[in-house]
Structure 1
Amino acid sequence: MEITVKDRQTLLDIAIIALGSAAGVFAFVRRNGISLTDKLTDGQVLEYDAADIIAPTIRGTYDVRGLSPATDMDLLEYRYLLTQTGTKWPNKPPRPAHAPEAPAAKLPIDPLEEALADVIAGRPPKENTEIHLTRIFQNPFDDTFA
């Protein structure tokens, strides 16, 4: 079986459409001799087998509803989408002409992912007054068996 890549589709998009799961990227990588990080091109044809389908109901839903996600976008497109949805991008003061070039802007980081990365790296957690934690478990029994 084959699927043709559309403009701005990633391997993850294709795996969900054709195989019903993001885990399907590995089947596409093996069958098509491509890398997980390869950028797909509009019109590129990828092969897969019926045995590669992981979640037929999800695959069927995408097919019946005509869903065809295309999530590959650059920073400029991301900023445009943010403004169209009313989300504000942080303003930066203009850079003086004699100042060195600033590094490329990065996408906002999810605080949870940042905190997990700190824990994994053994760094102490950063204090964030905007995030409030709620204690779920109230006694030692719950703490032990949670």
Structure 2
Amino acid sequence: MGLELGGEQAGSLRKLFIRGLPKVVSLPQWILLGSAKTLQQLYIIGLENLSTLPRWFRYLVSLQTLGIIDCPKLLSLPQGMQQLAALKQVGITGCPKLGKRCMKQTGEEWPKIAHVPQLFVSNDSETSITYDE
């Protein structure tokens, strides 16, 4: 339960796991402080009440991997996701509402992640996997 940080110093955070925090409804802005240009991997796991991702996501310019797991109330991705040119992998599972909205070419959120070469999106009834080299 909690946060796991990966980086040599506070201003160079490269990997962040946020997991098992059932009362969290939105991500804190401190994640962005000093790490907007260095954070490469972000995993959001088991945030049962997380309903939105913040707008500041678009400033995570070095983000390469995003994993969203078991966040059942999460409905959408933030605007600006399509601007994250470094983003190479996105995995969404255990988030039935978001998963449905992110399905390849048919989901409302698909345009926000269509540029990502490696995608794994699962909802209650179907799975979509995209792997472009």
| Structure with larger Rg | 1
- Report if TM-score (shorter chain) is over 0.5: no
Taking structure 1 as the reference length, what is the TM-score of the superposition?
A: 0.22
Q: Greater strand percent: which structure? A: 2
- Structure with bigger helix share is 1
